[in-house]
Amino acid sequence: MILSEKTVKKINDKLSKYPKAKGMILPALTLAYKQLGYVDNEIYIEISEIINVPQLEIAEAASFYTMFPKKPRGKYLLQVCNNISCALLGADAMVDRLEEKLAIKRGETTDDGLFTLISVECLGSCCTAPMIQINDDFHENLTRQKLDELLEGLKNGK
Amino acid sequence: MTFYSPVVTNAKEIAGHEKLHLFEYVEDEKQYQLKRYLEHGGYAAWKTVLGKMKPEEVIEEVKKSGLRGRGGAGFPTGMKWSFVPKDSPKVRYLLCNADESEPGTCKDRVLMERDPHVVIEGMAIGAYAIGCHLMFCYIRGEFHHSIERIEKAMEEAYSKGHLGKNIYGSGYDLEMIVHTGAGAYMCGEETGLINSIEGEKGMARIRPPFPAIEGLWECPTIVNNVESLAAVPHIINRGADWYRSMGTEKSAGTKLFSLSGHINRPGNYEVELGFSLQKLIYDANYGNGISDGKKLKAVIPGGVSTPFLTPDKVDVPLDYESLTEAGSMLGSGGVIVLHEDTCIVWTILKLIKFFRHESCGKCTPCREGTGWLEQIIQKIEDGRGGPDDLEKLDSICGNILGRTICPLGDAAVMPIQSTLKHWRDEWQYHIEHKKCLVNQNFGF
Amino acid sequence: MAEAVKEKILAVATITCTIDGQQITVPKGTSVFYAARQIGIVIPAFCNHDKLKPVGACRMCYVEIEKMPKLQVSCATTATDGMVVSTNSQQVREGRKAVIEFTLINHPLDCPTCDKGGECDLQDLTFSHGYDDSRFGFNKMRFIEEEKRDTFDDLKIGPEIVLNRNRCILCYKCVRANKEAFGEYDIGAFERGDLTEINATPGGEVSNPFSGNLVEICPVGALTNSDWRYKIRVWLTKTVPSICNFSGSGTNITFYKEDHKNFVYRVTARCNDAIDDGWLSDITRYGYQIVNSESRLKTPLIKKGGKQVKASWDQALAVIKKHMGEIKDQSGGVCIGGLISPSLDNASLYSFSKLFRTIFKSNNIDFRGDYRYLPSVTDSPFTIAASQPFSIADIEKSDVIITFGTDLIREHHNEYLKIRRAVNFFEATAYSVNPYAVKTADIAKSEMVYSPGTDELVINGICLAAIEKKLVDSSAAAKLKPKISKLSLSELTKQTGLGKEQFKELAEAISSAKKITFIVGEIVARSLERDKICAALSNLNKLFGVQDKGQLAVLSRYANSKGAQKLGLSATPYEIVKAELKKIWGEYPDCQPRNTDSMINLMKKEEIKGFITVGTNPMRLYPDRGFASEGLEHVDFLVACDMFETETTELADVVLPLCSWAEYDGDYINLEGKVQTGKQAIKPKYEAKAAFEIMELIASQSGVKLFENEQSRNEEIEQLLSLNSVLPWPDDFLEIDYDKKSSRDDYPVPLFICDDPHHSGHLTEKSPSLLNFSDSAYVELSKGMAAKIGVADGEPVRVESPVGKIVVPAKISRVLNSDVAIIPRNFSSTQTTSLLMRKKRVDSVKLTRVEE
Ligand SMILES: Cc1cc2nc3c(=O)[nH]c(=O)nc-3n(C[C@H](O)[C@H](O)[C@H](O)COP(=O)(O)O)c2cc1C
Ligand code: SF4
Ligand code: FES
């Protein structure tokens, strides 16, 4: 088993609340992703066995949603909103800057495995644009200086 | 925990602030806690409903209030509830649509993070009205803090008997599940949302059957936006007439607007429906004008799914009817302001990329059409546009509009059509000169 | 909307609408699409399928409806009273044109090299509805296999299926059919938007027993199968209507043939709603390949000096004449016996019977070569149960469906699908009651797994529960109770392993059903105690009045089992049949009737000296190989007719090449009693002959004619078929005695030998496609059982019974959840029936891991 006992327990707890087991696909994938930072076929099989839903249905769902990376990512997942409200306030330039500072392109991970950079669609932070989501946290109203500080902080393990 | 949330208005300083209810306590840092919520009169409406009202009476009250859905379509909430068949032996579900992913919109998040109990209370009342005993709050997966706040609030509500078995001794049972999304705009569309809870891909379903008849697990299901539900406890507490007294004849009450883009004071504002868009943008208590002293070029009034307004149309009341008349839609209330240095082609390219990325892929016109549109627009943006491209865009948009399963197809093309109409010269310029008409440079 | 829904709704209400100026009245709930079809207007469509729920995805089926500003998709729009529809207005035509254009932008224009050319919906609809040229000026999206970048667009996703994702137009029919109709989860749609791709489950392949249908319903060349792919263009073939020869349902099929090569190219469905819904099992679809097989018997063979050598028909017939004549003259016709396959047509079966009974004057015939002891009385409870009427179409109309003692997916794939449909589309409630967990259970409300060998106790338990709960008539209850209550309900629960609640649940379901279908299958039919079980069923039927509100029957298993029963092919035909035969022939042998089992016994005693097998292979299929082989090896003179060399033909003194069902016109009676004709597709291959011809030739050796001509033969058959062959149940409740189950600790695991889901009987291993799915024996075990003996999937297991031993790989089952072993009997490479003992009610084995 790749899924930890804790994750399995959480899945089972939630499973009991759902009228139909298939409804647990998304919650289970989310819990698996939270533990591992990615999901893949082996995980689908494990989930399939826990919630007794065909592996196929889990794989189909997982492929549809963008929040489930299929490969492990860097320690910090930098998601830059690149939709219109952020773009109007320089999100494109912000991504360029990140690419330059981290010496990677969009979709890549730094060699030290610290950062993965991706650009994403609107994250519901339009009034506080531009913004970036780092793992679970939103960082909003960014300026060049704030962004630099943020990166430095993360690099130094803060 | 660092707690970020979109800025909100200095509500108390605004004239007529006594009418504001959604944002009445939004600046109270403790409002998210049950204790504070109760101090501010929380769960009183829920108690009233369970103690004194029949489900039909709740529906009637909400119908009378004139509340319309705040998720985008503006469908009367009370009426939607009344569509649930009374005699159906099936269980019913109430789903709170907290997927908030319409670009330009970030209002539901504020409610969930700052006043989560009102969302739960609104859901509970809605659930009772339709006879539902298991309700879901579907929150987009990226909103970790909203999820955390709602889940915490839910636990508190359970532990103090506002949810669970035999609530307030009324004999009514109500369970709640927080179901989180995982990155798909389509899951905000009600049938996509239902599919997503069922464990399917977030694809649209054909209607009829409408969810109120056959939704989640083929049972009667009501989907309501966070803001719609959050208004319900206030309506119960203060009465339908009070709610009706705000806004316009056909657009009652207040609404949250998310103001973003090239604006001096971006933020979420609660205003009465019928409030002037002009005022929202320029008034010092609100948007306080266009940033960098630039001139206004366009406004997208209701999230990126709505047609663009030209500056001459900006003096318009923010209500469902007036905006339709002005050639756009109130939508979800995401007002995006574009100043004069914004290239229309570039803007549209951003939008169509979004819609292509988010198309669920079920129906042909949207799936194939959005990709085709993106390629043509990208070509024009790159300076490789051809003389017949605009006509082609017109025609492709026309072939998508009204031809898809869900409104995403329409949403993708209506903004394009509006710019092809109002900024055709700029499109033409882009094709002929292989570059922008304006000197766009959004620094960071 | 589906026919059956229509029928259900019809009782309720109708609506009248106007389509293209014509008024039409249809059942409420009918979609505009089907309303139009009823008046002959065919609306173009890609994603709609008659037997699947509408999804409205392709948007090809637009119509214009008055008072609706937008175009509507007719497949998903219900026709309403007064609705005025136009299916061919300017707006509609433009709408369709746009859809074709969208559909084509990413579709390769490779029709000349695409195998679907000539039968591609997209190609056809583009010609009739599309633009002349393309406005799309970009590169088409192209899916390319990562490892084979740039070179290869085709992807093998299953033993028989090849996928070309570029051609896929995302109608989702394959995925929908797989899930909705077949309950299978091996093909899916992944990713989203225009990147959506159809593919097999990650790490898996598309190999379900119905997978061939996916190819057939694909509207374009995205799914093709290796069976047909690139062998011939469709317009070069001719079609011939026929019937599946591997199922009891008589699924309707179409042969595609080419005359010069005298070759059958493929089989597709020939949808007959009353029977099959147009879905074929892979066995039906690919089984035809045996017709073309190079390894068919080409000429007669005769044994010379211990070796079989080629011979002419005349030589072979002369040998038969000599030996059979000698036996008949010296020992009498009673020393001659025969066994025929119930998959053969009426004419062949009847000729066989007539040959034996009028020329050899023998009653030693049978058609059940794979059953143990058979009743030697004509009205045994099993015979009665097997004669009961059954309607496939009524499955869909039932609100309660019980499957008892049947592993449907291995026995009756068509009924398996019908039940799924009844549950998924018509809200029937299904119960699966079996000695091991079966696939059908995934749609069942409850699955009840009882201890093997306690079948009749389960039935008794249901009856007792009903009596206890007062669900049945009290006077009937009072009569039945003393006959079955030797064991109390709680003792029954102990014996059967089912709970009281489960008995009650079943009792309630049966008594509250408005219309019931109660299917009894091979697990009962092959049981040594089939009569006892059917006696219990007789009681149940009487107690609940099951047949008064539905149907209860042991389903017949092979293409013409029902014909064999009706024509009197067992040693003891129904009395009424026997009387009729006497009348037709003016004679009927009065010697003792011998069924398969007693014939084999007599062979050992050298009392049966001559034996003829036709299309059957008792050496492989008789449930006790040791017994069968001992018998057959003793026979002085064995004639075996078959399409292929088999374990039985190997022993024969004369081997005669038999035609396949594709090589002559034949009538078959399906499990409902419906007579259907399978038309001749090709000329007999090599020197093969149909069985009825062979029988006539053997008769002619004695200087007699079985029939004046074809017409007189058919008249005789007609006469028999017109008899009412439903046997009445006994008037009284029957006593069910109880013998304690004996289990041997040294052989603890119950064994079931049955068909692989991709095979049927002994012939399908000659189909290359079916071999691609499954090519050799295995032992299917539950996960728990495998763990107990410490084997992983695919690892060898020694399976030992008191009489035999084989070594086969383990196959971990996805459905089994108890300690049983299931082994297929279809492969000549493993002598699986050697594990069986004909006198055992439940065979059991010992399983051990084979150390390397
Ligand atoms: C593509 C698409 C996305 C949508 N996204 C959202 C959303 O994020 N939140 C929301 O409340 N409604 C969204 N809607 C509207 C919902 O379908 C639905 O109308 C709404 O949740 C109903 O609630 P209301 O009546 O309270 O507005 C979306 C609609 C479409 C077509
Ligand atoms: S319009 Fe787009 S998102 Fe909506 S069903 Fe069609 S493909 Fe899916
Ligand atoms: S057939 Fe109606 S949408 Fe495809």
Per-residue pLDDT tens over the stretch B54-107: 999 999 999 999 999 999 999 999 999 999 999 989 999 999 999 999 999 999
Q: Which ligand has the shortest distance to the CA of B103?
A: 1
Least confident of A103-117, B143-157, C148-162, C378-392: C148-162
Q: Is the peptide bond before B55 cis (omega within 30 degrees of 0)?
A: no
Contact status of B357 with chain C (Cβ, < 8 Å) = yes
Is A119 in the same domain as A150? yes
Report domain B344-433's class. mainly alpha
Which ligand 3 atom sits nearest the alpha carbon of residue C171?
A: 4
Answer yes or no: is A58 within a domain: yes
Look at residue C203 in the predicted model and tell me its pLDDT: 93
Structure tokens at C473: 């008539």
Which ligand 2 atom sits nearest the alpha carbon of residue B358?
A: 3
Q: What is the pTM of this model?
A: 0.94
The neighbour count for residue B149, using CB atoms within 10 Å, is: 25
Domains of chain B, residue spans: 11-244, 254-339, 344-433
Contact status of B363 with chain C (Cβ, < 8 Å) = yes
Contact status of C135 with chain B (Cβ, < 8 Å) = yes
List b or e across B261-283, with b for residues whose CB sees 16 or more CB atoms inside 10 angstroms.
bbbbbbbbbbbbbbbbbbbbbbb
Look at residue B396 in the predicted model and tell me its pLDDT: 98
Look at residue B3 in the predicted model and tell me its pLDDT: 43
Q: Give residue B305 CA to ligand 2 midpoint distance, Å.
A: 14
Structure tokens at B198: 């069922």
Give mean pLDDT, residues C172-188: 97
Look at residue C1 in the predicted model and tell me its pLDDT: 41
Distance CA C143, CA C197 (A): 9
> How does residue B6 score in pLDDT terms, banded at 50, 70 and 90?
low
Give the phi and the psi of residue A101 in degrees, each rounded to 5.
-65, -35
CB B101 near ligand 1, within 6 Å: yes
Report domain B254-339's class. alpha beta
> How does residue B15 score in pLDDT terms, banded at 50, 70 and 90?
low
Is A54 in the same domain as A104? no
Which ligand 1 atom sits nearest the alpha carbon of residue B185?
A: 3
Lookup result for tokens 């009693």: C673
Contacts of C398 (CB under 8 A, 6+ apart): C422, C428, C513, C515, C516, C517, C550
Among residues A64, A86, A115, which one ends one of the domains?
A64
Give the phi and the psi of residue A83 in degrees, each rounded to 5.
-85, 180
Q: Give residue B229 CA to ligand 1 midpoint distance, Å.
A: 13
CATH number at residue A134: 3.40.30.10
Least confident of B9-18, C321-330, C651-660: B9-18
Mode of pairing for the β-strands spanning C675-678 and C666-669: antiparallel
Contacts of C850 (CB under 8 A, 6+ apart): C795, C796, C797, C798, C807
> How does residue A157 score in pLDDT terms, banded at 50, 70 and 90?
confident
CB C58 near ligand 3, within 6 Å: yes
| C43 in Cβ contact with C33 (< 8 Å) | yes
Give the phi and the psi of residue C329 in degrees, each rounded to 5.
-65, -45
DSSP C386-407: HHS---SHHHHH-SEEEEES--
Contact status of A77 with chain C (Cβ, < 8 Å) = no
Q: Judge: B365–C71 Cβ closer than 8 Å, yes or no.
A: no
Q: Which of B363, B382, B388 to mutate to test the interface with C (most CBs of C within 10 A)?
A: B363
Answer yes or no: is A49 within a domain: yes
| C71 in Cβ contact with B403 (< 8 Å) | yes
Contact status of C271 with chain B (Cβ, < 8 Å) = no
Residue C233 CB burial class (10 angstroms; 0-12, 13-18, ≥19):
exposed
Give the phi and the psi of residue C24 in degrees, each rounded to 5.
-145, 135
Per-residue pLDDT tens over the stretch B211-252: 999 999 999 999 999 999 999 999 999 999 999 999 999 999
Q: Which of A44, A51, A56 to mutate to test the interface with C (most CBs of C within 10 A)?
A: A56
| B317 in Cβ contact with B276 (< 8 Å) | yes
Is A92 in the same domain as A146? yes
Lookup result for tokens 């249809």: C26
Q: Which ligand has the shortest distance to the CA of B364?
A: 2
Look at residue C616 in the predicted model and tell me its pLDDT: 96
Answer yes or no: is A70 within a domain: no
The neighbour count for residue C606, using CB atoms within 10 Å, is: 12
CATH number at residue A17: 1.10.10
- The third-level CATH classification (topology) of the domain covering B11-244 is Rossmann fold (3.40.50)
The neighbour count for residue B399, using CB atoms within 10 Å, is: 23
| C24 in Cβ contact with C33 (< 8 Å) | no
Chain B: residue nearest C193 by CA?
Answer: B361
Give mean pLDDT, residues C332-354: 97
Look at residue C2 in the predicted model and tell me its pLDDT: 47
Ligand 2, CB cutoff 6 Å, lining residues: B 186, 203-204, 359-363, 366-367, 404-406, 408-409
Distance CA B11, CA A141 (A): 21
Ligand 2 pocket test, pick from B360, B374, B403, B414 with the greatest ligand atom count within 8 Å of Cβ, gives: B360
Look at residue C628 in the predicted model and tell me its pLDDT: 96
The neighbour count for residue B417, using CB atoms within 10 Å, is: 18
Answer yes or no: is A114 within a domain: yes
Look at residue C152 in the predicted model and tell me its pLDDT: 62
Is the pLDDT at B38 greater than 70? The verdict is yes
Give mean pLDDT, residues C563-580: 95
Which residue's CA lies nearest to atom 4 of ligand 2?
Answer: B406
Per-residue pLDDT tens over the stretch C668-714: 999 999 999 999 999 999 999 999 999 999 999 989 999 999 999 99
> How does residue C130 score in pLDDT terms, banded at 50, 70 and 90?
confident
What's chain C's average pLDDT? 94
Contacts of B395 (CB under 8 A, 6+ apart): none
Is A46 in the same domain as A90? no
Strand order through the sheet with C550-554:
C446-449, C429-434, C400-404, C516-520, C550-554
Q: Judge: B177–A127 Cβ closer than 8 Å, yes or no.
A: no
All domains of chain C in start order, with CATH: 2-103 (3.10.20.740), 121-130+138-292 (3.30.70.20), 381-554 (3.40.228.10), 749-849 (2.40.40.20)
Distance CA C409, CA C523 (A): 13
Is A92 in the same domain as A150? yes
Is A37 in the same domain as A102? no
Look at residue B4 in the predicted model and tell me its pLDDT: 46
Q: Please, which residues bridge with residue C517 across strands?
A: C401, C551
Per-residue pLDDT tens over the stretch C42-98: 999 999 999 999 999 999 999 999 999 999 999 999 999 999 999 999 999 999 999
Give mean pLDDT, residues C331-343: 96
Contact status of C190 with chain B (Cβ, < 8 Å) = no
Distance CA C255, CA C242 (A): 7
Is A59 in the same domain as A115? no
Is A40 in the same domain as A90? no
Q: Give C7 or C760, the one with higher predicted confidence.
A: C760
- Torsion over CA of C717, C719, C721 and C727, rounded to 10 degrees? -130
Range of the domain at A127: 76-155
Is the pLDDT at C9 greater than 50? The verdict is no
Nearest by Cα to B12 from B26, B1, B31: B26
pLDDT above 70 covers a percentage of chain B that reads 96
Lookup result for tokens 């902080």: A153
Residues of chain B with C-beta less than 8 angstroms from the C-beta of C192: 184, 186, 201, 359-361
Contact status of B371 with chain C (Cβ, < 8 Å) = yes
pLDDT above 70 covers a percentage of chain C that reads 97
Answer yes or no: is A71 within a domain: no
Hey, which residues 139-198 in chain B have their CB within 8 Å of chain A?
Answer: 140-145, 175, 177, 179-185, 196-198
Is the pLDDT at C334 greater than 60? The verdict is yes
The neighbour count for residue B340, using CB atoms within 10 Å, is: 16
Contact status of B365 with chain C (Cβ, < 8 Å) = yes
State the ipTM, two decimals: 0.95
Is the pLDDT at C740 greater than 80? The verdict is no
The neighbour count for residue C132, using CB atoms within 10 Å, is: 5
Is A44 in the same domain as A84? no
| C276 in Cβ contact with C269 (< 8 Å) | yes
Is the pLDDT at C505 greater than 50? The verdict is yes
Distance CA C819, CA C840 (A): 18
Q: How far A62 CA lies from chain C's nearest CA (Å)?
A: 8
Which residue's CA lies nearest to atom 28 of ligand 1?
Answer: B189
Answer yes or no: is A32 within a domain: yes
Give mean pLDDT, residues C168-183: 97
Is the pLDDT at C176 greater than 70? The verdict is yes
CB B73 near ligand 1, within 6 Å: yes
Look at residue B1 in the predicted model and tell me its pLDDT: 32
Q: Which ligand has the shortest distance to the CA of C121?
A: 3
Distance CA B64, CA C49 (A): 45
Look at residue B375 in the predicted model and tell me its pLDDT: 97
Q: Report how far Cα C841 is from the mean position of its chain's Cα atoms.
A: 25
Contacts of B205 (CB under 8 A, 6+ apart): B191, B194, B195, B405
Is A16 in the same domain as A43? yes
Least confident of A41-45, B350-354, C116-120, C491-495: C116-120
Distance CA B185, CA C758 (A): 43
Is A83 in the same domain as A149? yes
DSSP C747-761: S-EEEEEE--TT--T
Is A101 in the same domain as A57? no
Residues of chain C with C-beta less than 8 angstroms from the C-beta of B186: 192
Per-residue pLDDT tens over the stretch C806-827: 999 999 999 999 999 999 999 9
What's chain B's average pLDDT? 95
The neighbour count for residue C427, using CB atoms within 10 Å, is: 9
Nearest by Cα to A82 from A116, A37, A133: A133
Residues in chain B: 444
